[in-house]
Amino acid sequence: MNEGMVEDNPARMAELAERLAGVQRRIEAAVENSGRTGQLPTLIVVTKFHPAADIRRLAALGVRDVGENRDQEASSKAAELAGLGLNWHFVGQLQSKKAKSVATYAQAIHSVDRVALVDSLARAIVAEQDRTGRGALECFIQVSLDDDAGAHRGGAAPVEIPLLAERLAAAAGLELAGVMAVAPLGASPEAAFEKLAAISADLVAGHPGATAISAGMSQDLEAAIRFGATHLRIGSDILGSRPAVG
């Protein structure tokens, strides 16, 4: 256990271990079925609404990448769990005014969708680098795959990606990692992720280092892997249902 943690809920620990192992088996099988070779996709466990104690348990099980989608919750957990060596991924919609806070704990932002946010993140990360010497902030451009761009799941329209990529690539302290998307509600995830793979290829043509594709959740990780996902964002299949509030 990390940091001398004494497990006070062995049943929950066993549940998380079983669920995590099940998802890891799904990922390995999907990679094998896709014919891909090389490194497995990075598994980001999305821990929103779940307590910090669960993240400690996951860290003890070997998880290093965790995702959150609300700054207030993420910053609190990151501070509480600072000694665990975790990589924090911000995966939700981000207000520009929260950039300064996110820059203090996040290693990656998966939801960059507008130039104003790029500029805010650049200012925040440079200030944080001056203060702490931290490394660059990985940035994924969130792409809307909805026919009506941005109508349901958020993200930039494909036509906006070149400008966002240029601004990210030129910004001090930011690293253009690649693209991120969520399959549209009610649509085929295979078709959505095939479209995202083509968008990624266009981006890489101009920015050879931006090869990452953040795609795939509990219900569609196999389709995401088939079309080249390098980062998977899995929540409920590992953590179960969200805890009751109150």
Residue 244 lies in a domain: no
Residue 72 lies in a domain: yes
What are 81's two structure tokens? Answer: 């769990």
Domain that holds residue 207: 38-239
Please state the rounded mean pLDDT for residues 113-117: 97
pLDDT range class, residue 113, cuts 50, 70, 90: very high
CB 99 within 8 A of CB 124: yes
Three-class SS of residue 66? strand
- According to DSSP, the residues that pair with 137 across neighbouring strands are 174
Q: How far is CA 169 from CA 105, 141, 152, 207, 225, in A?
A: 21, 11, 27, 8, 26
Residue 84 lies in a domain: yes
Residue 30 lies in a domain: no
Domain count, the chain: 1
Q: Give residue-wise pLDDT tens across range 183-223.
A: 998 889 999 999 999 999 999 999 999 999 999 999 999 99
216: alpha, beta or left, given left = phi > 0 and alpha = psi -120 to 50? Answer: left
Residue 44 lies in a domain: yes
Residue 190 lies in a domain: yes
Q: Give residue-wise pLDDT tens across range 127-154.
A: 999 999 999 999 999 999 987 544 445 7
Three-class SS of residue 134? coil
Residue 215 lies in a domain: yes
Q: Which residues contact 235 (CB under 8 A, 6 or more apart)?
A: 45, 46, 47, 48, 67, 217, 218
Residue 162 lies in a domain: yes
CATH number at residue 161: 3.20.20.10
pLDDT range class, residue 236, cuts 50, 70, 90: very high
Q: Give residue-wise pLDDT tens across range 15-43.
A: 999 999 999 999 999 999 999 998 999 99
Q: Which residues contact 245 (CB under 8 A, 6 or more apart)?
A: none
- The answer on pLDDT for 5 being more than 60 is no
154: alpha, beta or left, given left = phi > 0 and alpha = psi -120 to 50? Answer: left
Return the pLDDT at 181: 97
